[in-house]
Amino acid sequence: MSMRQEQLPDLTDDMFQPADIDSSKNEEIAGESTGFWKDAWRRLRKNLGAIIGIVIIVVLSLLAIFGPMMNEYSYHEQDLMRAKLPAKVPGLENVGFLGLNGVDIRGVDQYEAKGVDEYFWFGTDEFGRDQWTRVWQGTRISLFIALAAAFIDFVIGVAYGGISAFYGGRVDNILQRIIEVLVGIPNLILIILFILIFEPGILSIILALAVTGWIGMARIVRGQVLKLKNQEFVLASRTLGASDGRVIGRHLIPNVLGQIIITTMFTIPNAIFFEAFLSFIGLGIRPPEASLGSIINNGFSSLQIYPHLVLYPSIVISLLMIAFNLVGDGLRDAFDPKLRK
């Protein structure tokens, strides 16, 4: 006891100041307040999978935008003299196991055999079109279709579900009966019939995906709004004289937004898959336009001899799907930590 006291430095009175006791500041919160979005962003940043997903999406989107311009070939330029060349990349051509040296599966250097001096990074297809340009052109179209379909789902779904839940009663009843019937029809069948009637094309594929796509969004928004609209803060807002528009805009939508974003995030890979699927059953984008699905589908006919025609677009579509799913999972955990398991 005494030992410790001796070790203390000299404490003089002037080292102390009277504490400032201000009762009005007792309740003050120190530090910045963390809002919903900030909180979500903090959790998302910690999620390795989601970050990887975001990076992949950014890289692939940039490639989809700039990829086709990175060499001098256009996606529809045909030249049979250079058809069916395997991939050859300057610099990487000497790394044997990558298979980027222009040698096909029979061990013949096709570039030498055909006397081609140029490099085709992803090889060429049966018409001699540059596969690199086509793959990124296809990614562009696949992404465009997916984003457009997701946007339409978002608009219709939020409006439909929101109106249904907000106005309730008879409106809700009628709107929900309509949904019940629509849910009973397999969406696959509707999509196929829809495209059969309108000739296959970017627009008809987007519309076909949107025909059934919005239902999931509508149901989620309805459920959320139903849950929220009877809570006290909405009642308080109404008591203060807020209009319907203000209640929806300021209170309901911000609270449902997290769920909406998550749902949209999962709609996108779904749309990418369905678009590719349609190409497989012959209802996809028509040549010379190409989507990832139609490029893969075309490649399948010569898979055994020219695997590069399937390999590269397959990798791109798989990466896209993985990335969107990872970000979707990450967002779900970030917005709703209760769901996190």
Partner 1 sequence: MGRYIGGRVVSMLVTFLIIASLTFFLMKLLPGTPFNNQEKMSESQIQQMNEKYGLNDPVPVQYVTYMTNLFKGDLGVSFQQDGRSVTTIIGERIGPSAYLGFQSLLIGTIFGLLLGIIAALKHNTFLDYGSMIIAVLGISIPSFVIAGMMQYWVGVKWGMLPVAYWEGFEYTIMPTIAIAAAVTATIARFMRTEMLEVLGQDYITTAKAKGLTSTAVVIKHTIRNASIPIITIMGPMVVALMTGTLVIEQIFVIPGLGEKFVSSIMTNDFPIIMGTTLFFSILFIVVILVVDVLYGIVDPRIRLAGGK
Among 56, 202, 242, 322, contact with partner 1 (rule: CB under 8 A) = 322
Among 39, 77, 118, 199, contact with partner 1 (rule: CB under 8 A) = 199
30 Rama class: left (phi>0) / alpha (psi -120 to 50) / beta = beta
AA letter at 256: V
Could you tell me which stretch among 63-71, 238-246, 248-256, 323-331 binds partner 1 (CB under 8 A)? 323-331
Token code pair at residue 12: 């003089």
Measured in whole angstroms, how far is the alpha carbon of residue 308 from the centre of its chain? Answer: 26
Min CB(30)–partner 1 separation in Å: 33
AA letter at 297: N
Q: Which of the residues 36 through 75 are near partner 1 (CB under 8 A)?
A: 49
Q: Does residue number 96 form part of the binding site for partner 1 (CB under 8 A)?
A: no
3-state class percentages of the chain: helix first, strand second, coil last, to nearest 5: 70, 0, 30
Among 258, 329, 331, 335, contact with partner 1 (rule: CB under 8 A) = 329
How many residues bind partner 1 (CB under 8 A)? The answer is: 40
SS3 88: strand
Among 192, 226, 253, 257, contact with partner 1 (rule: CB under 8 A) = 192
Q: Does residue number 92 form part of the binding site for partner 1 (CB under 8 A)?
A: no
The nearer residue to partner 1, 40 or 320, going by C-beta atoms, is: 320
Token code pair at residue 283: 């209802």
Name the phi and psi angles at 88, rounded to 5: -145, 120
How far is residue 145's CA from residue 155's CA, in Å, rounded to a whole number? 15
Among 74, 101, 302, 314, contact with partner 1 (rule: CB under 8 A) = 314
Could you tell me which stretch among 3-11, 75-83, 151-159, 304-312 binds partner 1 (CB under 8 A)? 304-312
44-80 b/e (C-beta count within 10 Å ≥ 16 → b): beebeebeebbebbeebbebbeebbeeeebebeeeee
The nearer residue to partner 1, 252 or 276, going by C-beta atoms, is: 276
Token code pair at residue 179: 């949904």
Q: Does residue number 304 form part of the binding site for partner 1 (CB under 8 A)?
A: yes
Q: Which of the residues 153 through 182 are near partner 1 (CB under 8 A)?
A: 180-181
Min CB(311)–partner 1 separation in Å: 8
Token code pair at residue 169: 């009663």
Among 188, 203, 235, 236, contact with partner 1 (rule: CB under 8 A) = 188
| Residue 107 CB partners (closer than 8 Å, separation 6+) | none
Among 90, 184, 241, 245, contact with partner 1 (rule: CB under 8 A) = 184
For the residues of 286-321, what is the DSSP string, one character each?
A: PTTS--HHHHHHHHHTTTTT-THHHHHHHHHHHHHH
102 Rama class: left (phi>0) / alpha (psi -120 to 50) / beta = left
Min CB(58)–partner 1 separation in Å: 17
CB 140 within 8 A of CB 316: no
Could you tell me which stretch among 6-14, 93-101, 159-167, 315-323 binds partner 1 (CB under 8 A)? 315-323
Q: Which of the residues 259 through 288 are near partner 1 (CB under 8 A)?
A: 269, 273, 276-277, 280-283
DSSP state of 63: H
Among 231, 235, 300, 337, contact with partner 1 (rule: CB under 8 A) = 300
- Which residues are at the interface with partner 1 (CB under 8 A)? 49, 180-181, 184-189, 192-194, 196-197, 199, 269, 273, 276-277, 280-283, 296, 299-300, 303-304, 307, 310, 314, 317-318, 321-322, 324-326, 329, 341
